[in-house]
């Protein structure tokens, strides 16, 4: 039976990059009978425009029904003045929370053809393969209380709360340790336990979980040092497990090691392995609608979807190999240095689909 995929293009470059991901899926369907049916729904600013909500009820219903969801990106300056509760980013947070997508896998892998495009020297990044495991439905993004209040003095005060319960920490830690068992067997847990109680508990629970994975070596690092170590000697990391906010920041940082933020895919998984897949980058309003966006992060997110949610590991390998092939041929969108064939979003997508 055909598997149902819900496409959520979103805003800015979202529609352009998801169109190329769709092209790749259609090519897989046609050539290898991968068998997926695609449907599209609005989210983010597009959701607000269509239904007055950044996560329309119908979009959420379709997402629950689908076997997997592929999202482009949300947000843009035209929505920044909206009331907070209906801003595009709230739609993304809501779908993550509603679907229970606590486990965010963000692999930062350097394609050898892009070694010269990395922010770091080639010898520092050659062979780079890091997996950032970011907790996605807790922490300061969701903690209560939150808001902006007026103090007695008349001054206003913005406040958010960083909270992590033991069960939330335990399940993300288990995901990270299980991943490390399939990789180089090292987990680095990143926190701010020298200052934050939520991190103190995080460290304690991660230590406890580690006892169940004797084959995995655990280390801890404060987030400020981790940011520095990522750009100093990134290959020291195998799996990095961290909370929602730290993971958001560190994954953009890791992206630049791979040549561009346009190269980083992600999978957001629930307890049963159902997932939403999206590039790590945002809606890039500065280049939207100009055929300049790199669609590879979204196309590589399709590979993760095929592997984790659709049981099509071979097709996933094909997609990743096709990305390697087009880079080898020298195709580069403007965000990627090097190469000998400058291309736009569409030509890059067509090339990948053509090499499957
Ligand atoms: N998952 C998401 O939907 C998501 C993620 C991050 C930011 N956002 C939203 O996106 C909007 C813009 O945010 P931002 O500018 O801070 O981050 P961004 O990731 O959208 O862009 C940062 C920079 O990277 C470039 N870039 C991003 N993706 C690219 C791609 N595929 N190809 C080439 N260049 C690319 C952009 O042109 C820009 O210069 C905001 O509204 C933000 O909230 C959404
Ligand atoms: C747009 C925003 C809500 C989102 C996040 O902070 O999680 C984005 O930056 C990401 O990395 O997916
Ligand atoms: Mg981010």
Counting residues of the chain whose pLDDT is more than 70, the rounded percentage is 100
pLDDT at 35: 85
pLDDT at 34: 84
pLDDT at 340: 96
Counting residues of the chain whose pLDDT is more than 90, the rounded percentage is 96
Q: Which residue has the tokens 């949610």?
A: 309
89 ligand 2 Cβ < 6 A: yes
> Is 86 among the annotated ligand-binding positions?
yes
**Model confidence at 1: pLDDT above 80:** no
Ligand 2 midpoint to CA 300 (Å)? 18
Q: How crowded is residue 334: how many other Cβ atoms within 10 Å of its Cβ? A: 17
| 345-354 helix and 313-328 helix, angle to the nearest 10 degrees | 120
Query: With bands split at pLDDT 50, 70 and 90, how would you rate the model's confidence at 178?
Result: very high
Q: Which of 4, 49, 222, 252 is catalytic?
A: 252
pLDDT at 273: 83
**Omega of the bond leading into 146 within 30 degrees of 0 (cis):** no
Ligand 1 midpoint to CA 14 (Å)? 10
**Model confidence at 32: pLDDT above 90:** no
Q: What is the pLDDT of residues 286-336, one digit of tens each?
A: 999 999 999 999 999 999 999 999 999 999 999 999 999 999 999 999 999
* Ligand index nearest the alpha carbon of residue 16: 1
Q: How far from each other are the two terminal CA atoms of the chain, in whole angstroms?
A: 23
pLDDT at 290: 98
Q: Which of 111, 191, 192, 335 is catalytic?
A: 192
**Model confidence at 119: pLDDT above 90:** no
Residue bearing the CA closest to ligand 2, atom 3: 89
Q: Which residues contact 321 (CB under 8 A, 6 or more apart)?
A: 355
138 ligand 1 Cβ < 6 A: no
3-class DSSP assignment, residue 307: helix
Residue bearing the CA closest to ligand 2, atom 1: 89
Alpha helices in 33-146 (DSSP H): 45-51, 57-65, 88-98, 122-125
Mean pLDDT rounded to a whole number for the chain: 97
Where do the CATH 3.40.718.10 domains begin and end in the chain? Answer: 1-101+270-356, 129-257
Ligand 2 midpoint to CA 122 (Å)? 29
Tell me whether residue 238 is one of the annotated catalytic residues.
Answer: no
Q: Which residue has the tokens 């939520």?
A: 198
> Is 58 among the annotated ligand-binding positions?
no
What superfamily does domain 1-101+270-356 belong to in CATH? Isopropylmalate Dehydrogenase (3.40.718.10)
What's the token pair of residue 200?
A: 């103190």
pLDDT at 195: 98
261 ligand 1 Cβ < 6 A: yes
pLDDT at 2: 86
Name the residue of 43, 76, 89 to mutate for ligand 2: max ligand atoms within 8 A of Cβ. 89
- Would you report the helix, strand and coil content of the chain in percent, each value rounded to 5? 45, 20, 35
- Mean pLDDT score, 246-270: 96
> Is 265 among the annotated ligand-binding positions?
no
67 ligand 2 Cβ < 6 A: no
Q: Which of 111, 248, 274, 335 is catalytic?
A: 248
> Is 300 among the annotated ligand-binding positions?
no
pLDDT at 174: 98
Ligand 1 midpoint to CA 281 (Å)? 5
Q: What is the pLDDT of residues 70-107, one digit of tens each?
A: 999 999 999 999 999 999 999 999 999 999 999 999 99
Tell me whether residue 252 is one of the annotated catalytic residues.
Answer: yes
- Mean pLDDT score, 326-351: 97
Query: With bands split at pLDDT 50, 70 and 90, how would you rate the model's confidence at 248?
Result: very high
248 ligand 2 Cβ < 6 A: yes
Q: So what CATH class is 129-257?
A: alpha beta
Q: What is the pLDDT of residues 218-229, one digit of tens each?
A: 999 999 999 999
> Is 287 among the annotated ligand-binding positions?
yes
- Cα angle 333-335-341, degrees, rounded to a multiple of 5: 30
**Model confidence at 53: pLDDT above 80:** yes
* Ligand index nearest the alpha carbon of residue 243: 2
């Amino acid at each position: 039976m055909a598997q149902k995929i819900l496409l959520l293009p979103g805003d800015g470059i979202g529609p352009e990059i998801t169109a190329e991901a769709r092209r790749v899926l259609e090519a897989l369907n046609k050539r290898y009978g991968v068998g997926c049916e695609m449907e599209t729904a609005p989210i983010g600013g597009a959701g607000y425009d269509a239904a007055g909500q950044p996560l329309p009820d119908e979009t959420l219903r379709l997402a629950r029904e689908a076997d997997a969801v592929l999202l482009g990106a949300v947000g843009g300056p035209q929505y920044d003045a909206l009331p907070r509760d209906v801003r595009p980013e709230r739609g993304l947070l809501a779908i993550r929370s509603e679907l229970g997508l606590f486990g965010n896998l963000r692999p930062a892998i350097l394609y050898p053809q892009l070694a010269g495009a990395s922010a770091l020297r080639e010898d520092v990044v050659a062979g780079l393969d890091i997996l950032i495991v970011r907790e996605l439905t807790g922490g300061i993004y969701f903690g209560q209380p939150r808001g902006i209040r007026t103090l007695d003095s008349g001054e206003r005060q913005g406040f958010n709360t960083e909270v992590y319960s033991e069960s939330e920490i335990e399940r993300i830690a288990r995901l990270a340790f299980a991943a490390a068992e399939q990789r180089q067997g090292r987990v680095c847990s990143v926190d701010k336990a020298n200052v934050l109680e939520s991190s103190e508990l995080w460290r304690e629970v991660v230590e406890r979980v580690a006892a169940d994975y004797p084959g995995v070596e655990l280390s801890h690092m404060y987030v400020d040092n981790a940011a520095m170590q990522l750009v100093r000697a990134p290959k020291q990391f195998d799996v990095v497990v961290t909370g929602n906010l730290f993971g958001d920041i560190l994954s953009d940082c890791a992206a630049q090691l791979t040549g561009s933020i346009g190269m980083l895919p992600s999978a957001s998984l629930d307890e049963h392995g159902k997932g939403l897949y999206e590039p790590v980058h945002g809606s890039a309003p500065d280049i939207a609608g100009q055929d300049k966006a790199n669609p590879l992060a979204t196309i590589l997110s399709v590979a993760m979807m095929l592997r984790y949610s659709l049981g099509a590991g071979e097709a996933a390998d094909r997609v990743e190999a096709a990305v390697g092939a087009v880079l080898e041929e020298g195709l580069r969108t403007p965000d990627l240095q090097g190469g000998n064939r400058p291309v736009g979003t569409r030509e890059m997508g067509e090339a990948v689909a053509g090499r499957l």
